[in-house]
Amino acid sequence: MLTDKAGQDAYKAPSPGISAENPRRTGGNLVQLISPEGERISHPEFDLWVSDVTDEQLCSLYEDMTVIRRIDAEATALQRQGELALWPPLLGQEASQIGSGRALRDDDFVFPSYRDNGVAYCRGVEPMDLVRAWRGNASSGWDPYRHNIATQQIIIGSQSLHATGYAMGIQHDGSDSVAVAFFGDGATSEGDVSEAMVFAASFQVPVVFICQNNHWAISEPVRIQSHIQIADRASGFGIPSMRVDGNDVLAVLAVTRIALDRARKGGGPTFIEAVTYRMGPHTTADDPTRYRDANELEDWAAKDPIARLKALLRTKGLLTEEVEAKTQAKADEVARNLRAGVINMPDPAPLDLFNHVYSTPNSWIERQKDHYSRYLESFSGSTQEGAL
Amino acid sequence: MSKLTFARAINAGLRKSLENDPKVVLMGEDIGALGGVFRVTDGLQKDFGKHRVVDTPLAESAIIGTAVGLAYRGYRPVCEIQFDGFIYPAFDQIVSQVAKMHYRTQGRVKMPITIRVPFGGGIGSPEHHSESPEAYFTHTSGLRVISVSNPQDAYTMIQQAIASDDPVLYFEPKRRYHDKGEVDETADLFTALSMEKARVVSPGSDVTLVAYGPLVKTASDAAMAASDEGISVEVIDLRSLAPIDFPAVEASVRKTGRLVITHEAAQSGGLGAEIAASITERCFNYLESAPVRITGFDIPYPYSKLEMHHLPDLDRILDGVDRALGRGNSLSGLEG
């Protein structure tokens, strides 16, 4: 597994691309370090940022991506079987989420969208906690302060402001941690994302915006969201940006490290566009065959992020039977535990309805809770005294 | 005791909160060097610095949305919305994020955010500068909504709002900003009347008259005028609009048997409706007549030459008191 230490070591390297010293690079070419065929592409600027990644860590990235894809598949199956009310699959976005998620330091704070389960996994969120809200057992599954990741945001783009505000707090505290907002291409149409960039640039706060351009906002294609490359939008706010192949885990790791480093050194916000593809539906409630061409999916399947890393590992002779067996065993185990956890998840108690609306008692809610509990109590013993 | 204007009293309360808690941060448009368009934050940036009193870009959703992030980080942001009619771009952040974060996270993340809103009419402003949007927020669980009616309350309740671990919308009646009143700046915050409690402004026995914010003064004036006619009106300043201190209103109505409610906001779906319904449910058998509402009309806030017709004034309130008492009034003879 990649650790914070690995990231720290990389900071000692000269800082090409965007850095505290050189903040002006915007948009531009797609950063790529692994080709769709799995060949390692050498890049003088970005290689330095992943030069510390060992063979073992490459295998660990492969395991992360495989496991998160397996969690995604299992959750989708659980939804189809009626165990979850809904699920937003991340199929195809494993590299953009694992590459960025593994670049983070423990004390960085993430504000994710509902689809960023891979990022949450990197933060140590238990797989079962990823599905708690989708089963309808809670509004959210985990303690944000335990994992330094906010609960998943459903309102599109809202969390970009929360991350910016959190970064204002980091700046005020004089800390060198970073707030990171994850959102999709559709969110860039929302006013909140623009307002977040205005505030981030105005106050030069340590925030990284990671836009996973997965090409579709439910059924709306990115081309009707933006007439320019999304990464280029940031320059209008005075925020440098990078455009990275979001299906290339090494490239995503590199650019995220660059942006984090820049933020830690007081260089201010950075915008990353990770160009990827949502291979499944928006959620299990929609049907992408109604709105997109099968050929498009086929084209992107050829760029599959896991197959790509797997090919690289094979070329490097790292994809041993032992590695593959270990990876699959881990994925099997996680999926098995997830399924058992979901099926055995106890229902919440009725009066939990009223808990945590306020942090201090509220006379209106106390009264309603009291009345409803009396109503529920009126059923106790009704079977014995049942009129019928 | 010192004599302060309403605006200075809020300023003094903000200053005290900034002094007492380093986590308190003020944010808003023009609140720094200018001291806010109403000068409520006058001098605070000079004394506490640009990091404590933050002049923000002009973006209401961002002011509230970044406050959410700051609250996540352990700060207690106090946001100024420059005018009531400008709060709507921030509506989503207030009702979907600020209000729900504590519930959403099962109590793990607190949102001790105070949102100051200069509200209401009577100052001859153009469109969007005189609205009373409080009912939108009292309808949203997770928010506490208060409105102040006098300098002393303005001083203590802003501090109570900031000290609250729950988000508070603090509605300031802008047409009262220049009214002066005695303020005890040594008043202990926690022995002062809680912001959740209503207050009997003047006792009476014939009619209960409920008001808040800018109309408390108008209601008091109406009560004095009524007493000249031998009618004893008990005026209640609600102070808290969510939750409303119903036991206090109920106790008064059990005594007087009659209820008049007044607010500037439009009538339909307004707080008057909630108070009338709740009091009717709670003490129907004590009521001698149907509750009466004296409110703004169900119209967009009118241009300033007509606002005096829209805003409840002393005579319209007295007409309502007559209605509650079954005396001759403007609607006498009307069925239903």
pLDDT by residue (tens digit) across A74-84? 999 999 999 99
CB-based contact, B305 to chain A, within 8 Å = no
**Predicted local distance difference test score (pLDDT) of residue B187:** 84
Contact assignment for A172 to B144 by CB distance below 8 Å: no
* Residue A282 a catalytic site member: yes
Most B CBs within 10 Å: which of A195, A203, A366, A371, as the mutation test of the B interface?
A195
Phi, psi of A232 (to 5 degrees): -75, -20
Distance from CA of B43 to the nearest CA of A (A): 21
- pLDDT, one tens digit per residue, over A227-257 is 899 999 999 999 999 999 999 999 999 999 9
Q: Is the pLDDT score of A14 beyond 50?
A: no
Q: What is the pLDDT of residue B336?
A: 60
The residue of chain A nearest to residue B60, with distances taken between CA atoms, is A195
Asked if A172 reaches chain B (Cβ–Cβ under 8 Å), the answer is: yes
Cis bond before residue A23 (omega within 30° of 0): no
**φ, ψ (nearest 5 deg) of residue A138:** -165, 165
Q: Which of residues 74-103 of A touch B (CB under 8 A)?
A: none
B70 in contact with A, Cβ within 8 Å? yes
Question: Is the confidence at residue A11, as pLDDT, over 70?
Answer: no
The nearest CA of chain A is from the CA of B300 a distance in Å of 26
Which sign does the torsion angle of CA A20, A23, A26, A32 carry?
negative
CB-CB under 8 Å, A165 with B69: yes
Instruction: Read off the pLDDT of each residue in A208-222 and give the average, rounded to a whole number.
Output: 96
Please give the single-letter amino acid code of residue A22. Answer: N
pLDDT computed for residue A382 by the predictor: 62
Q: Is B4 helix (H, G, I), strand (E, B) or coil?
A: strand
pLDDT at A341 over 50: yes
From first CA to last CA, the distance across chain A in angstroms is 64
CA distance A300 to A283: 19
What are the tens digits of pLDDT across the range A35-73?
Answer: 999 999 999 889 999 999 999 999 999 999 999 999 999
Q: Where are the alpha helices (DSSP H) in chain A?
A: 4-11, 55-80, 94-101, 117-122, 127-135, 144-147, 158-173, 191-203, 230-233, 249-264, 294-301, 305-315, 321-343, 363-377, 382-385
> pLDDT in tens for each of the 336 residues of chain B?
899 999 999 999 999 999 999 999 999 999 999 999 999 999 999 999 999 999 999 999 999 999 999 999 999 999 999 999 999 999 999 999 999 999 999 999 999 999 999 999 999 999 999 999 999 999 999 999 999 999 999 999 999 999 999 999 999 999 999 999 999 999 888 889 999 999 999 999 999 999 999 999 999 999 999 999 999 999 999 999 999 999 999 999 999 999 999 999 999 999 999 999 999 999 999 999 999 999 999 999 999 999 999 999 999 999 999 999 999 999 999 876
* Mean pLDDT (chain A, rounded): 92
Sequence letter at residue A340: A
Under 8 Å between Cβ of B164 and B112: yes
pLDDT band at A16 (very low <50, low <70, confident <90, very high): very low
Whether B194 and chain A come into contact, CB under 8 Å, resolves to no
Which residues in chain B touch residue A192, judged by CB atoms under 8 angstroms apart? Answer: 61-62, 65, 92-93
**Nearest-CA residue of chain B relative to A143?**
B108
Q: Work out how many CB contacts closer than 8 A connect A with B.
A: 144
What distance in Å separates the CA atoms of residue B47 and residue B26, rounded to the nearest whole number? Answer: 13
- For residue A370, the model assigns a pLDDT of 97
**B104 min Cα distance to partner chain A (Å):** 5
The answer to whether B63 and B28 have CB atoms below 8 angstroms apart is: yes
Distance CA B193, CA B171 (A): 18
Active-site annotation holds for A374: no
Residue B33, exposed/middle/buried by CB under 10 A (0-12, 13-18, 19+)?
exposed
Instruction: Please say whether the beta carbons of A65 and A92 come within 8 A.
Output: no
Once rounded to an integer, what is the mean pLDDT over residues A276-284? 96
Question: Which pLDDT belongs to residue A380?
Answer: 87
CB nearest to A158's CB, from B72, B96, B105:
B96
pLDDT at A109 over 80: yes
The CA distance from A230 to A272, in Å, is 9
Which pLDDT score is estimated for A387? 47
* Of B61, B166, B247, Cβ closest to residue A358: B166
Q: Is the dihedral of CA B234, B235, B239, B242 positive or negative?
A: positive
Chain B partners within 8 Å of A145 (Cβ): 108-109
Residue A25: pLDDT band with limits 50, 70, 90: low
The whole-number average pLDDT for the span A181-192 is 97
Whether A10 shows a pLDDT value over 90: the answer reads no
Q: Which residue of B has its CA nearest to A352?
A: B106
- Measure in Å the smallest separation between the Cα of A319 and chain B Cα atoms: 41
pTM reported for the whole predicted model: 0.94
Q: Is the ipTM of this structure higher than 0.90?
A: yes
Residue of B66, B101, B113 to mutate, interface with A, max A Cβ within 10 Å: B66
State whether B106 and A355 contact (CB < 8 Å): yes
Contact between chains at A145 and B196 (C-beta distance less than 8 A): no
DSSP H helical ranges for B81-240: 91-92, 101-104, 134-138, 151-163, 215-228
- Predicted confidence at residue A5, as pLDDT, reads 41
Instruction: Name A168's Cβ contacts closer than 8 Å, sequence gap at least 6.
Output: A199, A203, A205, B54, B66, B69, B70
Q: How far apart are CA B150 and CA B142, in angstroms?
A: 26
Does pLDDT of A22 surpass 70?
no
Query: Which of the two residues, A358 and A24, has the higher pLDDT score?
Result: A358
Q: B245 vs A363: CB contact, 8 Å cut-off?
A: yes
For residue A150, what are its two tokens?
Answer: 């906010």
Considering CB atoms only, which of B59, B67, B107 is closest to A165?
B67
Per DSSP, chain B holds a count of helices (H) and strands (E) of 12, 14
Q: Which two tokens stand for residue A364?
A: 């209106």
Chain B residues closer than 8 Å to A348 by CB: none
Average pLDDT over residues A249-277: 97
Out of A161, A170, A195, name the one closest to residue B68 (CB): A161
pLDDT at A6 over 60: no
Contact B57 A167 (CB under 8 A): no
Answer whether residue A274 shows pLDDT above 80. Answer: yes
Instruction: Report yes or no: A349 at the B interface, CB cutoff 8 Å.
Output: no
Contacts of A179 in chain B (CB under 8 A): 69
